[in-house]
């Protein structure tokens, strides 16, 4: 059985669109990468001396950090180097050699770079989200970053999403981060839409894993760095370089799940999570 693709490039059963932030909506992924590299390289240089192996901004970032909550990114990357640090606590100073201290060091660098460079939206993504809303579909942004609200406001996109599940919300509700599907499932729940009628948009391999694990109706991989094959291996139904590529009439696509669900339209769900202004505690 097949689903016809709509003018949004989606199966016609889809009622909600769940967007990652960094690398999907905004160009902040490159700023995150630079902050992680500076943080880990300084740590490794101090620990191992001049012969240290630096953090690779492509392979290490994609495999161990991208899409994960910040503390998980620290643990996962260090484990790949056979390093284990004490956990410490969320308020650890950035010069303390703990998981949270290293994460806070990265966050300070990130905020500094954002102040200096600013954030920028992908205009194809802005165009696509506007088209999604014009079609009456529900929208959510799902990000491991607790700077999500501020970044969206800075690029004038905060008003385009009915629900925001970010690092602050995940911490408050004790939701595990990607590659677990819980934050995406929470967004679908807030919108009143089953996962089988929601689509996940992600650029991170951990996000692809979350989309697959959550049994969502469709998963769109956004390839900004030349990893289309890896995105498909991790669960993408389709891979694009820019969301605007989806804005065209499509051909039938193999049924992924929940056949025969009509699209009843979006019934204007309530706006959840109006804002959590505390400082970033995630990636």
- Specify whether the CB–CB gap between 245 and 125 falls below 8 A: no
Phi and psi at 193, nearest 5°, equal -125, 130
Residue 66 falls in the annotated catalytic set: no
DSSP alpha helix (H) spans, the chain: 29-48, 59-60, 70-80, 99-117, 123-134, 148-154, 167-172, 182-191, 205-213, 228-233
What's the rounded Cα separation, in Å, for the pair 240 and 169? Answer: 29
Which residue is catalytic, options 3, 12, 22, 62? Answer: 22
Give the span between the Cα atoms of 244 and 191, in whole angstroms.
Answer: 24
> Could you tell me which residues are beta bridge partners of residue 16?
138, 198
Cβ count near 37 (within 10 Å): 19
Q: CA angle at residue 60 from 54 to 61, to 5 degrees?
A: 115
20 is catalytic: yes
β-pairing, 253-254 vs 2-3, is: antiparallel
- Cα distances from 124 to residues 47, 69, 130, in angstroms, run 43, 26, 10
Q: Is 271 helix (H, G, I), strand (E, B) or coil?
A: coil
Q: Which of 3, 12, 20, 237 is catalytic?
A: 20
Tokens of 163: 């629900």
Please provide residue 199's backbone torsions phi and psi, each rounded to the nearest 5 degrees. -115, 140
Which positions are catalytic? 20, 22
């Amino acid at each position: 059985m097949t689903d016809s693709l709509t003018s949004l490039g989606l199966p016609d059963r889809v009622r909600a669109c769940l967007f990652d932030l960094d690398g999907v909506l905004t160009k902040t992924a490159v700023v995150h990468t630079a902050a992680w590299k500076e943080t880990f390289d300084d740590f490794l240089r101090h620990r191992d001396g001049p012969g240290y192996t630096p953090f690779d901004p492509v392979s290490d970032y994609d495999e161990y950090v991208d899409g994960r909550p910040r503390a998980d990114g620290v643990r996962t990357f260090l484990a790949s180097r056979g390093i284990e640090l004490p956990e410490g606590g969320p308020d650890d100073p950035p010069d303390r050699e703990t998981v949270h201290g290293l994460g806070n060091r990265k966050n300070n660098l990130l905020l500094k770079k954002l102040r200096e460079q600013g954030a920028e939206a992908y205009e194809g993504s802005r165009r696509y989200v506007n088209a999604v809303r014009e079609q009456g579909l529900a929208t959510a942004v799902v990000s491991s970053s607790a700077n999500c609200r501020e970044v969206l406001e800075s690029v004038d996109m905060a008003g385009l999403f009915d629900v925001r599940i970010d690092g602050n919300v995940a911490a408050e509700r004790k939701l595990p981060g990607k590659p677990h599907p819980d934050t995406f499932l929470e967004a679908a729940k807030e919108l009143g839409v089953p996962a089988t009628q929601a689509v996940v948009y992600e650029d991170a391999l951990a996000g692809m894993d979350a989309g697959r694990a959550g049994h969502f109706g469709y998963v769109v991989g956004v390839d900004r760095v030349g990893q289309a094959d890896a995105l498909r291996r991790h669960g993408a139904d389709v891979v694009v370089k820019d969301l605007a590529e989806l804005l065209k009439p499509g051909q039938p696509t193999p049924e992924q799940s929940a056949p025969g669900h009509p699209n009843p339209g979006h019934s204007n769900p309530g706006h959840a999570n109006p804002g959590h202004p505390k400082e970033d505690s995630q990636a």
